[in-house]
């Protein structure tokens, strides 16, 4: 049994997330965590809400609420929706937690001791209309690189290019829309990332197994122009982790907070501390997951994120952890594997939280149960390129894969058995060449499925799982127990006994993708045994003759053309 630490990029607190956000980090992380748990590994899967910075302040102001109250309310909303999608976090934390405050301030001090924090006097945009300095995310304008007219002052979300506010064309205040901006001098702390460039490059060189998307983005940031640049880690904001605190090695930083991209990744560590406290564990129990001198050396750490988050997780966050261990006394666990994703687009355009375009998590759950969405999103995950959600494709995938292949198999087997043998696994007959051939094919296909899951090849894993479901349908067609029953009822009993065991096998294998349907299959088979099928012949004999079962309700209802057309029209414009 191995130990696995899994984190997914923590979502901003500002509003409900869309399906593109979901498939870009949290959902595939949940898939992987469920698979590893199913194989018997020890897993700690962490996520949290990212509550500091401009998005929180702007969203709270728009809602007419104090920012702390707004964040608390939205954390509850995001937690409810993550539960609705069956995201099995061990802990869903908050970056505004006391634990994150302590760790962020502590790591900043460690970086200062290492000579990696520099105080810089710089020019910053000041808005006369708003009466304040504008942090980079409070400034919008046209990207000088791609021409996107809603680029932010830190990064263009369209082309992902790192920006400074002064780079923007026709800049304006994101608060008031004012264009009467001027540049004034202020003081900020900078993380001297440039000093860490060689160490980061050498570290990335050791990650030959990382996806090309991940390493190509990291190397682009390392090598473009003058290479990795020093980065400001403080901002002029009211809401956030204070820069000036007791024991701080700098002075005169009152009224400033740490930049959200500095403190947000540190919440991964803090979230483990929150988890330990919530579990009533010793205060240091979380460190066995994060300190290599306290047990984390044998942990495999995997991160999941969209490609826009890659630069900070491959460079800035590792620089923070490496720099904090400058004297060897704080060996923090660095990520072993980063699974990054391209974008999921929506029906000919883009999903957009800021513009409210697309299907959002609450809307999705109002329409259909979580498993419908989980299956489509994971089987169409944007791994190697951007992918697109269309209602036609969604309907076809649900109807063919879930209703026709899996659901139809379970229904046919259980109803036939009930009508001919009653609601118990029938006895009689023997397994012959057909059953042996099926067992051999299943063993090979399950091996493929496991290999893809281990490699976090999500679309391939979904394809392998579907192929396993297809094997059951093809066996039924070939064996034809309804015909066999007329001539040899005992042999038909053996065929159905095997098929009922396939239902339990499918439940175990499918649980990472469609956990609710998997549980429904286990409930119908009246078993809670979820042991992984390391021995396929044994798994196909797990439900012995006489074991009771029941016919489940329809696992997956087909999506009608009328329903699809209605949803397509309903979500064709901006979210209201």
- Please state the residue numbers annotated as binding site for ATP: 353
Q: What does DSSP assign to residue 573?
A: S
Cβ atoms of 175 and 138 closer than 8 Å: yes
- The structure tokens listed for 399 are 């109807």
CA 33 to chain centre: 10
d(CA 395, CA 69): 40
H or E stretch at 108: helix 98-113
d(CA 240, CA 129): 23
Helix (H, G, I), strand (E, B) or coil at 304: strand
- The structure tokens listed for 254 are 């009152």
Task: State residue 490 phi and psi, 5-degree precision.
Answer: -65, -40
- The structure tokens listed for 498 are 């095997």
Axis-axis angle for helices 408-420, 515-524 (nearest 10):
10
Q: What does DSSP assign to residue 547?
A: -
> In sequence order, what are the beta bridge partners of 188?
120
d(CA 42, CA 206): 25
d(CA 493, CA 427): 6
- The structure tokens listed for 456 are 């976090």
Detail the residues annotated as belonging to a binding site for Zn(2+): 143, 146, 156, 159
d(CA 209, CA 57): 39
Detail the residues annotated as belonging to a binding site: 143, 146, 156, 159, 353
The two most distant CA atoms of the chain are separated, in Å, by 92
Q: What is the DSSP string of 123-173?
A: EEEEETTTTEE--GGGEEEE-TTT--TTEESSB-TTT--B--GGGSEEEEE
CA dihedral in degrees (378, 383, 385, 386; nearest 10)?
40
Helix (H, G, I), strand (E, B) or coil at 347: coil
d(CA 201, CA 413): 56
Contacts for 566 with CB less than 8 Å, ≥ 6 apart:
none
Cβ atoms of 90 and 45 closer than 8 Å: yes
**How many H helices and E strands in the chain?**
21, 17
How would you classify the pairing of strands 42-49 and 3-8?
parallel
> In sequence order, what are the beta bridge partners of 147?
none
d(CA 438, CA 493): 17
d(CA 243, CA 190): 12
Cβ atoms of 127 and 175 closer than 8 Å: yes
């Amino acid at each position: 049994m191995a130990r696995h630490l899994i984190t997914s990029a923590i979502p901003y607190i500002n509003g409900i997330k869309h399906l593109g956000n979901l498939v870009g980090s949290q959902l595939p992380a949940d898939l992987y965590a469920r698979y590893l748990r199913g194989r018997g590994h020890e897993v700690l899967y962490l996520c949290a809400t990212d509550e500091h910075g401009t998005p929180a302040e702007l969203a709270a102001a728009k809602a007419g609420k104090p920012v702390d109250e707004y964040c608390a309310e939205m954390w509850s909303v995001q937690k409810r929706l993550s539960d609705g999608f069956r995201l099995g976090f061990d802990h869903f934390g908050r970056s505004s937690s006391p634990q994150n405050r302590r760790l962020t301030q502590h790591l900043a001090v460690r970086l200062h001791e290492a000579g990696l924090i520099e105080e810089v006097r710089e020019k910053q945009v000041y808005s006369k209309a708003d009466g304040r300095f504008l942090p980079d995310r409070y400034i919008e304008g046209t990207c000088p690189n791609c021409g996107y007219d809603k680029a932010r002052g830190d990064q263009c979300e369209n082309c992902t290019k790192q920006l400074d506010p002064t780079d923007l064309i026709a800049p304006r205040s994101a608060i008031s829309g004012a264009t009467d901006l001027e540049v004034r001098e202020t003081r900020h702390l900078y993380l001297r990332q440039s000093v860490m460039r060689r160490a980061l490059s050498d570290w990335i060189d050791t990650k030959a197994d990382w996806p090309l998307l991940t390493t190509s983005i990291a190397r682009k940031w390392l090598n473009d122009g003058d290479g990795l640049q020093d980065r400001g880690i403080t901002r002029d904001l009211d809401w956030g982790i204070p820069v000036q605190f007791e024991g701080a090695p700098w002075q005169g930083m009152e009224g400033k907070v740490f930049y959200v991209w500095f403190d947000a990744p540190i919440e991964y560590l803090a979230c483990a501390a929150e988890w330990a406290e919530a579990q009533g564990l010793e205060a240091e129990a979380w460190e066995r997951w994060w300190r290599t001198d306290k047990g984390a050396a044998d942990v495999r750490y995997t991160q999941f994120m969209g490609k826009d988050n890659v630069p900070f997780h491959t460079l800035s966050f590792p620089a923070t952890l490496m720099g904090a261990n400058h004297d060897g006394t704080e060996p923090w666990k660095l990520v072993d594997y980063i699974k990054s994703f391209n974008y999921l687009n929506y029906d000919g355009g883009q999903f957009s939280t800021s513009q409210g375009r697309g299907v959002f998590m609450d809307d999705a759950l109002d329409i259909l149960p979580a498993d419908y969405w989980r299956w489509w999103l994971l089987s169409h995950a944007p791994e190697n390129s951007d992918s697109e959600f269309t209602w036609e494709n969604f309907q076809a995938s649900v109807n063919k894969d879930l209703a026709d292949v899996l659901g139809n198999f379970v229904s046919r087997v259980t109803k036939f058995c009930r009508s001919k043998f009653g609601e118990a696994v029938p006895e009689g007959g023997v397994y012959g060449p057909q059953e042996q051939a099926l067992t051999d094919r299943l063993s090979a296909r399950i091996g493929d499925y496991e290999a893809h899951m281990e490699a976090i090849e999500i679309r391939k894993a979904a394809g392998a799982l579907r192929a396993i479901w297809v094997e059951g349908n093809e066996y039924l067609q070939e064996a034809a127990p309804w015909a066999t029953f007329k001539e040899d009822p005992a042999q038909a009993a053996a065929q159905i006994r095997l098929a009922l065991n396939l239902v339990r096998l499918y439940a175990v294998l499918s649980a990472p993708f469609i956990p609710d349907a998997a549980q429904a299959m286990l409930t119908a088979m009246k078993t809670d045994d979820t042991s992984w099928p390391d021995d396929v012949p044994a798994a196909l004999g797990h439900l012995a003759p006489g074991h009771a079962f029941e016919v489940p309700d329809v696992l997956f209802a087909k999506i009608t053309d009328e329903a699809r057309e209605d949803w397509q029209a309903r979500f064709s414009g901006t979210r209201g």
